[in-house]
Amino acid sequence: MKTSTPAGMSRRHFMNHLALGGATTLGATHFLSNLEANAAQVSNNQKACILVWLGGGAPTIDMWDLKPGSKNGGEFKPISTKGDLQISEHLPKIAQEMDSLSVVRSLSTREADHTRGRYYMHTSYVPNPTVVHPTFGSVASYELGTKRKNLEIPSFVSIGGGSMSSGFLGMSHAPFVVDARGQIQNASTGGMDKQRLGQRLGMLSTIEDGFIKSGRGDVGQAHKDVYKKAVNLMTSDQMSAFRAEEESAEVRELYGSTPFGNTLLMARRLVETGVPFIEVQFPGSWDLHTDVFNTLKDQRLPLLDSGISGLVRDLKQRGMLEHTTIVVMGEFGRTPRINQNVGRDHWATSWSALIGGGGLQGGRAVGETDADGLRIVSESYLPGDLWATVSHALRIPLNTVHTSKRGRPMKLANGGQPIQDLIG
């Protein structure tokens, strides 16, 4: 399979060509009308969010909200951190950064089926057969990405796997999925004459217009928008943001020098470039129905520990942590009760997420569960509240309303409210 990253074709060069030869071709400029010559140096104080997705549903009771002394407590002990809370003994490096991070311990989210939970946690809405809600990354892309005129690459990137649909916000805000090495297939024109590409696009535009007008729904228009994005991307120097290998060994070491660490490093480079939302898929499943403790302490937690702590330290050193919100969660937590296979099953009633940066309060444990982890004994939070908190950090106004294709107004984060303990 051929994979390639674009090289050699600078965008200024391309635009010049279009201005000269391409101007005579049909509609080419129309297709490329939103391109502006040469990107300015991007400042690194633009707001961004990195979501680290723990696919399968992580046993947060063994990570962020331990229950020593309970029959549900499991094998791990809590340790003290630099923040005002304790976390698992197998996350010692993160413990050193906990002054910058907080844990929301009272998520109660109802959906404990993988598909439904993934949907709910990404969109703040429960699945509804009549409408597809946008994942929050698409919302950030829609609200922030479109305003960043210098951003030439997609404004919502998902590294190492899927994320969710952009729903009614349309294909232009769909996650741009790249593999964990940041390789993007077919992104190079293979050295084609720039003028020729312009001519091809001109003709394509002619053909498209006929189909768009033919009353066959919006597929034609969506297609056209995505082609615009593709051209932007193919001709942009900003594509180097995907190349984590360009960082020094020292920096990569900070992230643990693992494939997961490299994806987080890539996320930081994307934030520097101006991408407002990056989702990183944790490599490996957290769906630990069996043998939960060994899998956690030998595999999942060490990887997570070095990666997340490295990200926080790196962002801090570069002065970017104030502007970059980090969220670490999966589709649900896992049962406090330990099952017959020394595993934990799906549990959405009372679980935790890690959140920090972006000017949010660090070092706090927000919300509380009972001694066995079975119930919430404080105020409880929904995904909408988490995303409203992130919206606050990203400066997306909370009264933002999007309209579904059917004309129905949809509140930002399903009308959730920022968590006061985090923004206060």
Partner 1 sequence: MNSKTRRDFLNLVEEFLEGNSSESKIARLESLILSNEECETLFHEVVQLHGHLYWDAAGYGAELENYFPVPTAQPVIQSTIKPIAWHRRVAAILSTAALLAVVVWITRSPSVVDNSESIVKEILPTPETSENLDPKNDLLQGEVVEVHLPPNKTIAEHSTIEQPVEPIAAEEDVLPFDAASDLQVVAFINDQLQSKWDENNVAPSPRATESEWVRRVHLDLLGRIPTLHELELFLNDSDASKRIKLLDSLLESRGFASNFASVWTNLLVGRSRDRDIDREALFTYLKGQFGNNKPWSGTVADLISAEGSAVQSGPANFLLAHLNNEAVPATAITARIFLCQQIQCSQCHRHPTIPDWGQDKFWEFNAFFQRTIVKEKMVLDKKTGERQRVRQLVDTEALKVEPAYYEDLRGVMKVAYPRYAGVDVQPLPESTLRDQLAQLLIAGSDPQLAQAFVNRNWKHFFGHAFTRQVDDMGPHHEFSHPSLVDGLARAFVKSDYNVRRLIRWICLSDAYQLTSESIAENKFDEPDLGDLPLFTRMYVKPLSPEQLFNSLLIAGGVSTEEIRRRGSSYAQREEWLQQFFVSENNEENGEVSTFDGSLPQTLMMMNGELVKRASDPTQGQVLKKIVSDREKSETQHIQDLCLAALSRHPTPQELDAIRKALRNQIRLRTSHNMPPQLAYNEAFGDVYWAYLNSSEFSVNH
Give residues 52-111 in contact with partner 1 (rule: CB under 8 A).
55-57, 108-111
Per CB under 8 A, the list member of 82, 148, 313, 411 interacting with partner 1 is: 411
Q: What are phi and psi of 303, to 5 degrees?
A: -65, -45
For the bound state, the minimum distance from the C-beta of residue 82 to partner 1, rounded and expressed in Å, comes to 30
Per CB under 8 A, 199 contacts partner 1:
yes
Burial class (CB in 10 A: 0-12, 13-18, 19+), 39: middle
318 touching partner 1, by CB under 8 A: no
Instruction: Look at residues 64, 76, 155 and name the one whose alpha carbon lies nearest to residue 355.
Output: 64
Spatial distance between the Cα atoms of 262 and 280, rounded to a whole number of angstroms:
10
Kindly give, in sequence order, each residue whose CB lies less than 8 Å from that of residue 276, ignoring residues fewer than 6 positions away: 46, 47, 48, 49, 140, 141, 144, 145, 148, 155, 156, 394
Site string for partner 1, 243-262 (x = CB under 8 A): --------------------
Member of 17, 82, 196, 297 binding partner 1 (CB under 8 A)? 196
Interface pick for partner 1 out of 14, 142, 260, 332 (rule CB under 8 A): 332
* Contacting partner 1 within 132-171 (CB under 8 A): 154, 161-162, 165, 171
Site string for partner 1, 361-400 (x = CB under 8 A): -------------xxxx-xx-x------------------
Query: Which alpha helices (H) appear in 241-325, and where do they start and end?
Result: 249-254, 259-273, 292-295, 301-317
Q: What is the largest CA-CA distance in the chain?
A: 77
Buried b (16+ CB within 10 A) or exposed e, 183-198: ebeebbbeeeebbebb
Are the C-beta atoms of residues 121 and 52 closer than 8 Å to each other?
Answer: no
Which residue's CB is nearer to partner 1, number 54 or number 254?
54
Output helix, strand, coil percentages for the chain, rounded to the nearest 5: 40, 15, 45
1 contributes a contact to partner 1 by CB under 8 A: yes
Q: Which is nearer to partner 1, 17 or 82 (by Cβ)?
A: 17
Residue 10 near partner 1 by CB under 8 A: no
Query: Is 17 an interacting residue with respect to partner 1 (CB under 8 A)?
Result: no
Shortest Cβ 171–partner 1 spacing (Å) = 5
414 binds partner 1 (CB under 8 A): yes
Of 39, 42, 230, 342, the one binding partner 1 (CB under 8 A) is: 230
Minimum Å gap between C-beta 63 and partner 1 is: 17
E strand or H helix that includes residue 48: strand 48-53
> Do the bridges between strand 365-366 and strand 101-107 make them parallel or antiparallel, or are there none, so unpaired?
parallel
Q: With binding defined as CB under 8 A, does residue 217 bind partner 1? A: yes
